[in-house]
Amino acid sequence: MADSSPCTAMVCRCNSNVCQLRLDFQSFDIAQPNSDERLAARAVQRTQCLDATFTATSRSGNPPVICGTNSGYHMILEADANCNRLNFDWFENAPRQWRILITQVPCNSPNKAPEGCTQYFTGIMGTVESYNFQGGTHLANQDYLNCVRTELGFCQIEWSHSPLEGDFSISADKPGGSSGDNCSLDYVGILGGFLPGNDPFNNPNNDRFCGSGLMSRTSTITSTISSIQVPFGLRFVTDLGETDDVDDLQGGFKLNYMQIPC
C-alpha cells in the first residue's frame, strides 16, 4: 500500500519463456464504485469506479478497470516484452489496502491460461464470482472471460448457482430471470450453453443470462446450464452504469461449476 496516488509498479518477465503473469489478490480493498444518485444529473452513471481504480496492461488487450473488494480473486495478464504496468489511483482519503502475489507463468506450463482469459480456474469443481461480488455491486464497463481448464477425462461443464437471493443478480431488460436477446446490456455469457440432457448440437443455444437466475429461453425456472465448448468459458459484460434506484443496484454473480466425465 502506498501513501500517495498514483502507485505504479512495472513487472518485467524474468526470461523470454514467461508468457503470462498471474496476479493473486491476497488482499484488495479500495473504494467501492459510485452509488450516488445525485451524480446522475451530471451524466455520471453509478457502478463506475470513480474514487479509486486498479488498472493493468496486458500484451493482448488490457483487462477491465476494477475497484471495490476483490480479496481472493485473481487476474491473468499476457506478459509484455516491455514489462506490464500495474497502477492504483485514488482520491485523497479514499480507503485503500492491497497485497498482490505475482507469479510468472512459463509458456509450457500446464497452468498457462488460454489467451484472452482474465481469470483461470482449475479442478473439476469450483466457484467463480464477478469482481466486487463481495462488495455487493457489480462494476460498470466490464467485458472479460473467466476460463476453466478442461481436466483429463472430462468433456463437459455444468454451471449452476445456489437458490440464495443475490447469488445471481444482473440487470435485465425485464423483471425476473432472462436469457438470450432479453439480456442486451449486462449479462453472463456461457459459451455454447445448452440444457443438460439435451443434444448440444441440436438444441437452441442458452448462452446469455441476466436478471435473477440462469433460466433457459423456454423456462422461467432456474436451470443448470451445460457446455462442451472449450476452453470452458464464462463471459461477463456490463455497460457504462446503472440508472436504477440505489436499492436496486445489482450484485453480480456467484456461479458454481462441475466438470462431467467423457
d(CA 37, CA 249): 11
Q: Which domain holds residue 92?
A: 7-261
pTM: 0.88
- Residues 78-134 have pLDDT tens digits of 999 999 999 998 887 777 899 999 999 999 999 999 999 999 999 999 999 999 999
What are the residues whose beta carbons fall under 8 Å from the beta carbon of 73, sequence distance 6 or more?
A: 25, 28, 119, 129, 131
- Output the domain CATH number for residue 191: 2.60.120.290
**Cell 467501492, located at residue:** 32
pLDDT the model gives residue 205: 63
Mean pLDDT of 207-221: 72
Which of 58, 10, 261, 27 lies closest to 156, judged by CA? Answer: 261
Residue 165 has pLDDT above 50, yes or no: yes
pLDDT the model gives residue 83: 95
In the structure, what pLDDT confidence band is assigned to residue 168 with cuts at 50, 70 and 90? confident
pLDDT the model gives residue 43: 46
Q: Which amino acid is at 204?
A: P
Q: Is residue 1 part of a domain?
A: no
Q: Is residue 2 part of a domain?
A: no
pLDDT the model gives residue 12: 96
Q: How many domains does the chain have?
A: 1
d(CA 112, CA 120): 8
Residue 247 has pLDDT above 50, yes or no: no
Q: Mind giving me the DSSP string for 53-93?
A: EEEE--TT-PPPPB-SB-TT-EEEEEPPTT-EEEEEEE-TT
pLDDT the model gives residue 42: 46
In the structure, what pLDDT confidence band is assigned to residue 40 with cuts at 50, 70 and 90? low
